[in-house]
A and B are shown apart, each in its own frame.
Chain A
């Protein structure tokens, strides 16, 4: 009997997810302890609703999900267009529909729909994955992701568009894109970072890219072409950088040296580092964080929730949370591996990479090693749309486990 349940239900994934949600609720409770708005109850209600939804979704057979994927994708695109016209502007971005006292962010649901549509496109039932190394299919796959990205950039919401882009590489890697093509996608990122750090770093990164390209032993013209592309992209960093909004420029600058602007864009970074660092090994205790309770970090129940864990629960608490996330991500990857259903396999990789990207950027910014990009910590930051959408992703991940023997 017990064995039967374990065969059908991904118990580990459920337990770890619940642990993350409970930690999130504790963090929100503490972070909003002196606040006039009751964020905690709202989040609690939607967490319960989201968990019910997650379990429900885990029962849906994969073929139904696959069938619905293009329709969901189409609806998401329509909503993303509508939000540009009828959306509510909150802190500079037109990304919300307000329904009563709640805000709904269509971009959160577009994440799921885009992953599903991409997975559906890439999988062909029993035969396996589509051959992504054929250029037309490669371009189509990219288009599925880049259409919502273009719309979200219009809001403008940099952070969320990056989330979409972040899933391309892992998913394409999973379905069999050749290492050379993968490197061609990845290398501009290296070139851009190099270019940003200065001319010496830029030349260094180009040399590195060149050597790796040679190691692939591909057609010399192709390799040279890829290198030239990198040089052009590297040079255009300056131009692109100047096109960014001043606040975005300031945020990137503040990553490298937060002390340059302690009351401006570097403020959050310094304060969150101080909050986390002052937690020490075991933390100051629940509701005892002076940084948290004195509201030193603005709106920390949203993007900076991890500070509160760091300050009140210390190194032990912070590392525990990271490990919980890693279990979720690795469990999703492992489900992607064991399932015979190629559609859900690709989808799980998409979800895992989205959660990983959120984690890396969000925790990275609070501990001062990533730029301040406003994306939430999955299932812990206050935010109803985001909470529900992550729980739906995990629900689909659980379905991959339950139906792992179905093509």
Chain B
């Protein structure tokens, strides 16, 4: 066979293939076309995303703290939407026409065929308008969605946090592609920290629609739908009643309260005031409300429990005692002479009174400043840093909400950097000895430290969530947190606790909060404030022999520790331990002007 013949063989084969294909195309496109066109018309699928309700938060006794309630969300499917009704719709939704047009323009790709959420938590009036005018309002629809609902008489704003609509930046940065434009995401507090648990997993419904977008029915009788997975519930260590009382007691003031169970670090109550109304964030987030919160000079969005960095004042004296005992500078019985003041260099440091030669227990009881000025000097910056760090200062406690501060714990390097090497004097240590000066602690650090003293050195990471519960099968999972032992001799802890006992039950600075029913103990403190009235601190725990609650109260601009901190803490500890106290929320009466 020569090449010419072979060429024709190949030509014949190719043309036969062409003929087969053309016949097949003719069959599909000319003879069965009508049938296939019908199929094609009925053949579009609309995907409806089903967002599951977020997980519920419960308190330690099973009371609901954060719940969901249904609300209406208006959606627009961009490719069906008639731009001529933009004005009308934006008026009904109380949105500006420009911003609505912008939102719709930013929806790209296949998302244009699916409904996009344009306004949450609308009134029923809007829904009935949409329902009545459905024929005219192409592409406009609504969905029922769960939004947050807070059933209690308190706020818990900083603990629970809120959700907001995911930002374009977050969308871009997300790993994977779970979140879509218009989704809600935890922005703060527990909502943010436990976002992956609370949100659940979105589901999808497939609905067959015709070319005009009219729904025909569910695809494959709904068998292809992917059901959503409900969010996981959180079980908190919080005590609902204690939280409510704490918010009442600090109402109208600025400050923070945190109480934990010293045995495991579970947070019993957590208050930062002033705060804000979470329900303002649950559905429609009014930008005006948010910007008001941002510009409020009292900074309601600032979480004072975990973000403040104040000097601890005399509540620091337990820390100094333990550091001095462990460093071998004092023993539990050795005494130091405490006249009314202390001179270092050419500066005189004052005290409230003169106490003679006293030991560490007595020094704590009366909050003797001279005793601790001297200890500050003798302990030295290196031990000061080392032992304070053991009690969690200068580091984050690891509480399970975001944006915690690590505070400020000075060290040799810190001073060298701040003042230059060898350019700072030991004088700095004098103030540091009584918890003043360049030292910044947060209430959460203070409560963890107090709890560790109460528990002979058992330091527990403070945390809200003790268990997470799968809301589909009710399986619970215990969340593990760090617990460590700060290994100091038992007698040191006992001496310090004895001092704290006497503060309340002896002739100490908080003797007026002494209770006949429960043995309370604690320590007052006053943070010097150059820009106004001093801040009032109190840390304490109870019952003395078997601690079940440790607490820290901070009252900004409330003056002496004994004037606001001590009585507030006492009321809360007694309430938690079952003693009925004045729950009217009236102003706490000052119990004296002591540091």
Contact = CB atoms under 8 A, between A and B. Distances in A.
A333 B33 contact: no
A367 B10 contact: no
Interface string B70-107: 00000000000000000000000000000000000000
A35 interface: yes
Contact of A364 (B7, B21, B109): B21
A294 interface: yes
A315 B25 contact: yes
A278 B40 contact: yes
Given A170-B10, A296-B44, A337-B3, A278 B37 contact: yes
A322 B22 CA distance: 8
Contacts of B1: 176
Interface residues of B, number: 40
B421 interface: no
Given A322-B22, A337-B3, A356 B40 contact: no
A361 to B, nearest CB: 11
Q: How large is the interface on A (under 10, 10 to 19, 20 to 34, 35 or more residues)?
A: 35 or more
A141 interface: no
Given A263-B224, A322-B21, A367-B21, A36 B108 contact: yes
A274 B43 contact: yes
Nearest to B210: A290
Interface in B37-52: 37, 39-41, 43-45
Contacts of B22: 319, 322
Contact of B43 (A35, A174, A276, A291): A291
Looking at chain B's contact residues, the main secondary structure is helix
Interface stretch (A11-19, A323-331, A390-398): A323-331
A345 B32 CA distance: 43
A95 B26 CA distance: 37
Contacts of B3: 174, 336-337, 345
A326 B15 contact: yes
Contact of B25 (A296, A329, A345, A367): A367
Contacts of A290: 40-41, 43-44, 211
B4 A337 contact: yes
A122 interface: no
A276 B39 CA distance: 12
Interface string B1-44: 10110110111001101101110111011101101110111011
Contacts of B14: 326, 329-330, 333, 356
Interface string B106-125: 00111011000000000000
A230 B452 CA distance: 84
Interface string A303-334: 00000001100110011001100100110011
Interface string A268-283: 0001011111111100
Contact of B17 (A296, A360, A367): A360
Given A36-B109, A290-B211, A330-B11, A281 B29 contact: yes
Interface in A44-88: none
Given A34-B110, A295-B113, A333-B7, 13 more contacts: A273-B36, A276-B29, A277-B40, A280-B29, A281-B33, A296-B45, A314-B29, A322-B22, A326-B15, A333-B14, A334-B7, A337-B3, A356-B14
Interface of A: 34-36, 170, 173-174, 176, 263, 271, 273-281, 290-291, 294-296, 310-311, 314-315, 318-319, 322-323, 326, 329-330, 333-334, 336-337, 345, 349, 352, 356, 360, 363-364, 367-369
8 contacts: A34-B109, A274-B39, A278-B33, A290-B211, A294-B44, A314-B29, A315-B29, A329-B14
Interface of B: 1, 3-4, 6-7, 9-11, 14-15, 17-18, 20-22, 24-26, 28-30, 32-33, 35-37, 39-41, 43-45, 108-110, 112-113, 211, 220, 224
4 smallest beta-carbon distances between A and B, as pairs: A277-B36, A278-B40, A315-B29, A277-B28
